[in-house]
Structure 1
Amino acid sequence: MSQYVLSLHSDVSNHDALQQLLRFTQALQAQDHQVACIFLYQQAVLFASQHFSLASDELQPTQLWQSLHDAGIALKLCVTAAEKHGLDTTQCGPFEVAGLAEFAMLATKADKWVQFK
């Protein structure tokens, strides 16, 4: 069993990257690998916005994040990128704010780090 750290860097308009991250996470869990955390960085921090809303027939990131959190995966939000994009870091739903140093420490402890862009 390996431990993974995943990071998402894409803009909210890139649903492919989010869906790839979700499918990859599900595949890891099905094979009993551990996902230590998912880190949102750069434009991807906008996925954590509490004001992010899509049509009901589209992928619902808010529900997706909550289900990953409920599965025991730590969700981290880059505090610097979040503040640069005007997010209220006190209202982040299932996300914890974290700095790049914390993310780097998690990545060095993991067996693998996979980025989704």
Structure 2
Amino acid sequence: MGNMYFGPNHGQINIIQNNIHQGYRRSPRRTSHPILTGIAVLFAIGLLIKFWWVVLMVLAIWIGVKAFRKWQHRQALAEQERARIAARADMQNQAFLAGDPYGIYGYPQNPQGPL
């Protein structure tokens, strides 16, 4: 065999060289039928005109559900805020009972006094 030099890419697949002769492949695409699409659009518009009250009812239900979820979210945020305030009050009460000034004054702006 002798001294054979295979180059820096020995054992690796060179993707560029392997795909040169394959060409560009298109993904399978459905052919569009403009006449059938136009008929379907006109049919959908006709249904919307005939049954406008169904569209209105679905829209009202959708708006109601979104408003209810927003109200629930605001209630959850308010409950978290109340829990945070209650926890801070409990911490301050425990500090007051232990004689810590945090229990009376909370978080002072400058605990050392004016500079």
Shorter-chain TM-score category?
under 0.3
TM-score of the superposition, structure 2-length normalised?
0.18
Q: Which has the higher helix share?
A: 2
Larger RCO (CA under 8 A, 6+ residues apart): 1
Greater C-alpha radius of gyration? 2
